Structure 1
């Protein structure tokens, strides 16, 4: 058996805002952007790291009925606004360099790079409130 990860779902409030953030600020590339006539209002939108073509992040708007009830939709929005729904962990070979570059592109960090037992780590949020960690791993664990 050979099971791998291909896509990761990230709930977003606005797909256009999310696409702009992930491509123009973080530097990911657009992978898929498709709508289907048989599924009105549904848009399959994915991005991914340029050097990792086998991994995609789905930028999925919070669905309504019949997938979620209005109450469920509102609950997802509420916990998203608190940064409690999505999290992505990114790694780099130089976190301070990338912190400076991403900051210059307009990414607002919630935490500056700090030394941790496993390496150097910092955090930011996307426009939908999802938490993103950026780390430079320097220790085996």
Structure 2
């Protein structure tokens, strides 16, 4: 059996601000931006070379709006693997990304925690294979 995650839905406040952040700050690629209706778009972004995508889903009601940035209840929600931790850490820091945990060397690699524009927590990790 062979399975894999294809994409994750991430609640956002606004499509265009989310696209700008993920493509200009984190250097993700915009894979698709298709208008579905007057209020809904199908927007997919991903880190270069990734097979798993983020579907940027604009909150459609008050209940969803309350969950923006809190989809994992305040825990780290997403894990961004990199082949060069220090390159990406310095680049993101220079672009204003807020790291809330200093880089540390762990048994599995170098890691630090950052917040995205909505407050979702991410691990930036260079794994030790």
TM-score by length of 2: 0.84
Counterparts of 1:46 and 1:86, CA distance in 2:
21
Counterparts of 2:76 and 2:59, CA distance in 1:
12
SS at 1:30 equivalent = strand
CA RMSD of aligned residues (A): 2.4
Note the C-alpha offset of 1:85. 7.5
Gaps of 5+ in 2: none
Of residues 75, 95, 98, the one that matches 1:105 is: 95
Moved over 4 A (4+): none
Counterparts of 1:86 and 1:113, CA distance in 2:
15
SS at 2:119 equivalent = coil
Residue number in structure 2 paired with 1:117: 107
More strand by share: 2
SS at 2:24 equivalent = helix
Gaps of 5+ in 1: 65-69
Contact 1:123–1:131 under 8 Å retained in 2: yes
Residue number in structure 1 paired with 2:67: 76
Question: Kindly tell me: are residues 83 and 19 of structure 1, through their superposed partners in 2, closer, same or farther at Cα, counting changes over 3 Å?
Answer: farther
Counterparts of 2:99 and 2:108, CA distance in 1:
20
Counterparts of 2:35 and 2:75, CA distance in 1:
25
Contact 1:83–1:129 under 8 Å retained in 2: no
Count of residue pairs the alignment pairs up = 129
Of residues 16, 20, 42, the one that matches 2:40 is: 42
